[in-house]
Amino acid sequence: MKKGHALFLLAFLLGMTSFSFAQKFTISGSITDASNGEDLFGASVIVKELENTGASTNVYGFYSLSLPQGNYTLIYRAQGYDAVLKEIALDSNLTINVQLAVPSEVQEMEEVVIQAERDNANVTGAQMNVTTLDPKDIETLPVLFGEKDVMKTLQLTPGVKGAGEGNAGFYVRGGGTDQNLILLDESTVYNASHLLGFFSVFNSDAIKDVSLYKAGIPAKYGGRASSVMDVVMRDGNNKKFQASGGLGLISSRLTLEAPIVKEKGSFIVSGRRSYLDMFLKLSNDPQINSTSLYFYDLNAKANYKINDKNRVFLSGYFGKDVFGFAKEFGFDWGNATGTMRWNHVVNDKLFSNTSLVFSNFNYQFTIGQGDESFGVVSSIQDYNLKQDFSYFINKNNTMMFGFNAMHHTFKPGRLEASTDDFGFNQIELDPRKALEIGVYVQNEQKIGNRWSLMYGLRYSGFNLIGAGTAYEFDEVGDLIGQRQYKSGESMAYHQGLEPRFSASFILTESNSIKFGYNRNFQYIHQLSNATTSSPTDVYVPSSNNVKPQIADQVALGYYHNFRKNMYQTSVETYYKALGNQIDYRPGASLIFNELVEGELVYGDGQAYGVEFQLKKVKGKFTGWISYTLSRSLRQFDDINNGKKFSARQDRIHDISIVMMYKLNDKIALSGSFVYYTGDAVTFPYAKYEIEGYTVGYYEERNSYRMPDYHRLDLGLTWYFKERKKFDHNLNISVYNVYNRENAYAITFRENADTGATEAVQTTLFKIVPAVTYNFKFK
């Protein structure tokens, strides 16, 4: 790779604009929300006297701006807040911390906005293809069982597609569900769903915002091929105690937040538990009423500002799904994450963030109980040390650089039997350990009034570490050799350079063109060959057999706002090439298989498409319409006779319509509609008999389609009269209003009575009404 070239280019571009003769001083500080002290990410400071000069806050609310000596009027602003003006005489470096307040009279105009964005930031920013959501903005949207869910709402935006009812995960621009990096306060979340995908693990009450990067992914992110979903937890109110919560059909939640030391530190604790199984208790059937089926999760975060230069954070998530069938069978899985973070203002231009991150995902199932039981336990555990710097070089350049080192431990499975009566050998599959590292540098640069650039480079490396056994397989997947590695020995090393680039060219204040390119490496892979995804899907690290997945994407977009930025439109096209994609040999056994790597085959993929969106962001009526035309194809030498075939998520047409209408102070109405081409599936072409079984005859992979999916949801939120200390509302939603029987699965079987072969469609959700009551003590 041309590493030298890129560095030279970087130095050149920086040097080109950074020399200046006048003496300069720096203004830096934080911008926060006046009501609760939460950091505002993307808030801006603009210099009234100078055209096109300003800065915006990083994810921790920190900004820095360098100006020549002089008198200035600074305008601090963020979408949804009143602007604050500061007049300054700049003759030395200054620290200015600003609190922005929500306008006193409720301004409906700003009710639904993308948080803290400048009105036309979608047009003028260099970053393309990023979707940011604030849970507040979507609280009125109708959702299944009334559980508001940022992940489900993101799936209504262009290029993002849910994996379908009853399936965890989502697809971004034709990539697989395991190609999305999901971060919660910097910690990897391996399984982001509860109840097999009906809900996400993200409790909206505890979340500040969610950003989804589809292309031009910033260099600080790495490890997945297709996208990054970055979820940031709220810091908690640092001014006063506040309690809020909700009662729903399926679950209830409660959030408490308060200052630790007023204006200096705060905490938030948010919990949620479902009680679906309470209904099962009503059953007379002892098998059903002794069944447990629930999930819970707990988000907690605390932060403390030691002084203007140092702030520490501690955040954690713990969630679990528990399922027990009578006393015979137990199955539970969950994530736990923890993040320790230190923000340090090194000087007025250099901001540092150091994080120590822990993440764990595990599942286990147990059959039987007590003396006569056996069970399987499996887990993935990560420790990650991260160091990130933001260097505010000058008003046109902001540089980010840093590194991280993440240690993975994969425990694919341990079978434990409490008795050997049944002749089971107690077996543990070899654990795998790996060190994944990343080093990056990136610069955001403005050139003149028209160009914004973001260019960066990431180096990533993945070292599979012994002790362990490396297996060698022949071309049909049979074991032909193996080698034992000692503890600490490197079993395989993979590495790559990942260039990232975004550019925007502003045609006018309300028109721009953006271009992006990114290369991403992915070193760990999720294996699943069933029609439905499950928590037991196996993760394998790259090894001597499994090569890292590589994604190269180019994207081009045109953005246009009109009616004073009330309407935003965009057209984006992309082409993505995927290398080293994984599929499976026929009849592959993926679970509890020491030689699972022998079951894998490798090929390539390509995805391309065009996405249109029209969005109304202001006024009583807001929402968007998006349409995506796309393909996602795969090609494997060992599959489908080497011919190209549709990936399961090859949904050619995809339409989402989201509408929110604020009727008056009391009532908000909402609706969403989705339509997409049915998933590509493999169906039989004919049948024959073997030993009396009817067996399907197959010709081509994924050559059929599921029926097209479409669904309309409607919601109504009733706001009760607001009191000084108390605020509450009632949300009524109807999922699948016109009772469409969407296909979850189509299976083929022999009718037991007639002996005829028939196709059977399973539908998970017909019409589902729900009621949720939300409250807030202020």
With b meaning 16 or more CB within 10 Å and e meaning fewer, what string describes 62-91?
bbbbbbeeeebebebbbbbbeebeeebebe
CA 492/CA 481 separation, integer angstroms: 16
- Taking the complex as a whole, the smallest distance from the CB of residue 581 to other proteins amounts, in Å, to 13
Decide the pairing of beta strands 170-172 and 726-735: unpaired
Location of structure tokens 């607001």: 722
Q: Hey, what are 464's tokens?
A: 């599979």
Among 12, 19, 21, 693, binds other proteins (CB under 8 A): 693
Site for other proteins in 258-277 (CB under 8 A): 276
Contact 510, 561 (CB under 8 A): yes
Please say which residue, 554 or 601, places its beta carbon nearer to other proteins.
Answer: 601
Element (H, E) at 126: none
CA 13/CA 515 separation, integer angstroms: 18
- Separation of CA 87 from chain center: 40
Q: Hey, what are 256's tokens?
A: 């408490």
Among 51, 87, 105, 421, binds other proteins (CB under 8 A): 421
Q: Examine residue 759 and tell whether it contacts other proteins (CB under 8 A).
A: yes
Among 768, 773, 775, 776, binds other proteins (CB under 8 A): 768
Contact 706, 681 (CB under 8 A): yes
- What sign results for the dihedral spanned by CA atoms 738, 743, 744, 749? positive
Q: Examine residue 573 and tell whether it contacts other proteins (CB under 8 A).
A: no
Q: Examine residue 682 and tell whether it contacts other proteins (CB under 8 A).
A: yes
CA 319/CA 88 separation, integer angstroms: 49
Residue 754: CB atoms within 10 A of its CB come to 8
Q: Phi and psi (nearest 5°) for 153?
A: -70, -35
CA 57/CA 29 separation, integer angstroms: 9
CA 736/CA 700 separation, integer angstroms: 33
Among 73, 107, 369, 484, binds other proteins (CB under 8 A): 369
Which part of the chain contacts other proteins (CB under 8 A), choosing from 97-105, 129-137, 266-274, 366-374?
366-374
Site for other proteins in 723-742 (CB under 8 A): 741
Decide the pairing of beta strands 704-705 and 24-33: unpaired
- Taking the complex as a whole, the smallest distance from the CB of residue 361 to other proteins amounts, in Å, to 16
CA 695/CA 717 separation, integer angstroms: 52
Which part of the chain contacts other proteins (CB under 8 A), choosing from 47-55, 194-202, 481-489, 494-502?
194-202
- Taking the complex as a whole, the smallest distance from the CB of residue 676 to other proteins amounts, in Å, to 18
Please say which residue, 475 or 691, places its beta carbon nearer to other proteins.
Answer: 691
- Taking the complex as a whole, the smallest distance from the CB of residue 368 to other proteins amounts, in Å, to 4
| H-type alpha helices, 273-423 | 276-280, 286-289
- Taking the complex as a whole, the smallest distance from the CB of residue 277 to other proteins amounts, in Å, to 9
Q: Hey, what are 470's tokens?
A: 């490396």
- Taking the complex as a whole, the smallest distance from the CB of residue 140 to other proteins amounts, in Å, to 23
Please say which residue, 35 or 703, places its beta carbon nearer to other proteins.
Answer: 703
DSSP state of 4: H
Task: Please give the span between the terminal C-alpha atoms of the chain, in angstroms, as a whole number.
Answer: 56
- What sign results for the dihedral spanned by CA atoms 615, 185, 246, 101? negative
Q: 274: alpha, beta or left, given left = phi > 0 and alpha = psi -120 to 50?
A: beta
Q: Examine residue 365 and tell whether it contacts other proteins (CB under 8 A).
A: yes
Among 307, 691, 725, 752, binds other proteins (CB under 8 A): 691
- Taking the complex as a whole, the smallest distance from the CB of residue 206 to other proteins amounts, in Å, to 24
CA 92/CA 24 separation, integer angstroms: 9
Location of structure tokens 């500080």: 29
Q: Examine residue 278 and tell whether it contacts other proteins (CB under 8 A).
A: no
CA 611/CA 624 separation, integer angstroms: 13
Length of the chain: 778
CA 559/CA 521 separation, integer angstroms: 29
CA 281/CA 274 separation, integer angstroms: 14
Among 56, 274, 536, 581, binds other proteins (CB under 8 A): 536
- Taking the complex as a whole, the smallest distance from the CB of residue 760 to other proteins amounts, in Å, to 6
Q: Examine residue 635 and tell whether it contacts other proteins (CB under 8 A).
A: no
Among 746, 773, 775, 776, binds other proteins (CB under 8 A): 746
- Amino acid 466 reads G
- Residue span 580-619 as binding mask against other proteins, x where in contact by CB under 8 A, dash where not: ---xx-xx-x-x----------------------------
Decide the pairing of beta strands 70-77 and 372-394: unpaired
With b meaning 16 or more CB within 10 Å and e meaning fewer, what string describes 128-153?
bbbbbbbbbbbbbbbbbbbbbbbbbb
Q: Examine residue 481 and tell whether it contacts other proteins (CB under 8 A).
A: no
- Taking the complex as a whole, the smallest distance from the CB of residue 768 to other proteins amounts, in Å, to 6
Please say which residue, 269 or 591, places its beta carbon nearer to other proteins.
Answer: 591
Site for other proteins in 696-715 (CB under 8 A): 696-699, 701-704
Which part of the chain contacts other proteins (CB under 8 A), choosing from 131-139, 154-162, 362-370, 721-729?
362-370
Q: Examine residue 761 and tell whether it contacts other proteins (CB under 8 A).
A: yes
Among 70, 102, 121, 166, binds other proteins (CB under 8 A): 166
- Taking the complex as a whole, the smallest distance from the CB of residue 688 to other proteins amounts, in Å, to 4
- Taking the complex as a whole, the smallest distance from the CB of residue 776 to other proteins amounts, in Å, to 30
- Taking the complex as a whole, the smallest distance from the CB of residue 507 to other proteins amounts, in Å, to 45
Among 76, 351, 471, 765, binds other proteins (CB under 8 A): 765
Which part of the chain contacts other proteins (CB under 8 A), choosing from 43-51, 389-397, 523-531, 610-618?
523-531
CA 444/CA 345 separation, integer angstroms: 20
Q: Examine residue 752 and tell whether it contacts other proteins (CB under 8 A).
A: no
Site for other proteins in 282-341 (CB under 8 A): 291, 293, 323, 325, 327-329, 331
Q: Hey, what are 35's tokens?
A: 């009501």
Among 70, 496, 619, 684, binds other proteins (CB under 8 A): 684
Q: Examine residue 12 and tell whether it contacts other proteins (CB under 8 A).
A: no
Please say which residue, 368 or 431, places its beta carbon nearer to other proteins.
Answer: 368
Location of structure tokens 């590493």: 3
Which part of the chain contacts other proteins (CB under 8 A), choosing from 191-199, 496-504, 558-566, 613-621?
191-199
Contact 50, 75 (CB under 8 A): no
Site for other proteins in 446-475 (CB under 8 A): none
Please say which residue, 279 or 562, places its beta carbon nearer to other proteins.
Answer: 279
CA 518/CA 554 separation, integer angstroms: 7
Q: Examine residue 247 and tell whether it contacts other proteins (CB under 8 A).
A: no
Site for other proteins in 107-146 (CB under 8 A): none
Q: Examine residue 418 and tell whether it contacts other proteins (CB under 8 A).
A: no
Q: Examine residue 255 and tell whether it contacts other proteins (CB under 8 A).
A: no
Residue 97: CB atoms within 10 A of its CB come to 12
Site for other proteins in 56-85 (CB under 8 A): none
Please say which residue, 431 or 684, places its beta carbon nearer to other proteins.
Answer: 684
Contact 177, 526 (CB under 8 A): yes
Site for other proteins in 639-658 (CB under 8 A): 639, 648
# binding residues, other proteins (CB under 8 A): 80
Which part of the chain contacts other proteins (CB under 8 A), choosing from 267-275, 458-466, 692-700, 708-716?
692-700
- Residue span 424-443 as binding mask against other proteins, x where in contact by CB under 8 A, dash where not: -x-x----------------
Please say which residue, 688 or 718, places its beta carbon nearer to other proteins.
Answer: 688
Closest CA relative to residue 348, chosen from 719, 64, 652: 64
Residue 450: CB atoms within 10 A of its CB come to 14
Q: Examine residue 17 and tell whether it contacts other proteins (CB under 8 A).
A: no
